[in-house]
Amino acid sequence: ERFKDGAKPTYAAIRTEHRLYVEYDTGERELYDHRRDPHETNNLLADENEDEGGRQPEVEDLSRQLAEMVRCKGDGCREAARG
């Protein structure tokens, strides 16, 4: 995605059936549970001192999927996004 002035977005995000995961260019990350928090008010990664609430494997997987989507180019990306 590109903005009208040609600037690149400052974040990338991936949505699964129950989660929204966001990585900002600043390094900040957010994870939301849409079943329990449909309005995205409780960032599950807000307290990173607690091993991301035991979510490290899930976060690593979402980060990997997001990186693959960011690098993807062409029509094959739609299939990859459907997983």
Structural domain boundaries enclosing 46: 11-82
> What is the domain count for the chain?
1
pTM of the model: 0.76
* Contact yes or no for 31/21 (Cβ under 8 A): yes
Evaluate whether residue 6 is within a structural domain.
no
Evaluate whether residue 1 is within a structural domain.
no
Evaluate whether residue 37 is within a structural domain.
yes
Residues 27-83: tens digit of each pLDDT: 999 999 999 999 999 999 987 555 556 888 999 999 999 999 888 888 777 665 555
Evaluate whether residue 61 is within a structural domain.
yes
Give DSSP secondary structure letters for the chain: ---TTSPPPSEEEEE-SSEEEEEETTS-EEEEETTT-TT----TTS-GGGHHHHTHHHHHHHHHHHHHHHH--STHHHHHHH-
Evaluate whether residue 5 is within a structural domain.
no
What integer pLDDT is reported at residue 72 of this predicted model? 85
Residues 1-31: tens digit of each pLDDT: 455 666 666 899 999 999 999 999 999 999 9
| Calpha distance 49→79 (Å, rounded) | 36
